[in-house]
A = this chain, B = another copy of it.
Amino acid sequence: MSDHVFGKGMQRADLAKLTGCNLETIRYYEKIGMMPDPPRTASGYRIYGEDHVSRLRFILRGRELGFSLDEVRGLLALVEGGAQTCAEVKERTERHLADVRAKIADLRRIEKVLTQTAAQCSGDMVPDCPIIEVLAS
């Protein structure tokens, strides 16, 4: 197989290479209904086309931007459902943005504690390590 121009469709490995997605993840997305069941050859091999490429790219991009699979599923439904308005898309994006910002705030708090504590630690043979104090407090 592996029709060089993908004229008749491509195999799983081709789709994986094209999108940078892990080979097994494609099958996983199919199993949980994120990707549609593709047509098969007579012997059962999956055949993918351009529509599969777009859809998988959409999912991967959403994941890169920190959306959960469920959130991506929702966005896909809006897009595929031919939403006349993007208000809902914007709303979900902003909800997600709030999540992302909350996570950043959390991590910054952690960073601050760790930085301050590590700074107090000489690293020498000290009986009372300030880092351990923080953990044990």
Task: Indicate whether A65 reaches chain B with its CB closer than 8 angstroms.
Answer: yes
Size bin of chain A's contact surface:
35 or more
Task: Indicate whether A77 reaches chain B with its CB closer than 8 angstroms.
Answer: no
Q: Map CB proximity to B onto A65-80 as digits: 1 under 8 Å, 0 otherwise.
A: 1100000000100010
Task: Indicate whether A43 reaches chain B with its CB closer than 8 angstroms.
Answer: no
Task: Indicate whether A41 reaches chain B with its CB closer than 8 angstroms.
Answer: no
Contacts of A129 in B (CB 8 A): 86, 89-90
Measured CA separation A76–B114 after assembly (Å): 17
Q: Quick check: B90 and A131 within 8 Å, CB to CB?
A: yes
Instruction: Return the contact of A111 from the options B91, B100, B132 (Cβ within 8 A).
Output: B100
User: When A93-B118, A118-B93 are in contact, do A136 and B85 touch as well, CB less than 8 Å?
Assistant: no
Instruction: Return the contact of A65 from the options B89, B94, B103, B110 (Cβ within 8 A).
Output: B110
Q: Map CB proximity to B onto A103-122 as digits: 1 under 8 Å, 0 otherwise.
A: 11001101101110110011
Q: Quick check: B118 and A90 within 8 Å, CB to CB?
A: yes
The residue of chain B having its C-beta at the shortest distance from the C-beta of A79 within the complex is B132
Which 8 A-B pairs have CB atoms at the shortest separation, nearest pair first?
A86-B129, A87-B123, A90-B123, A97-B114, A90-B121, A104-B107, A85-B125, A61-B135
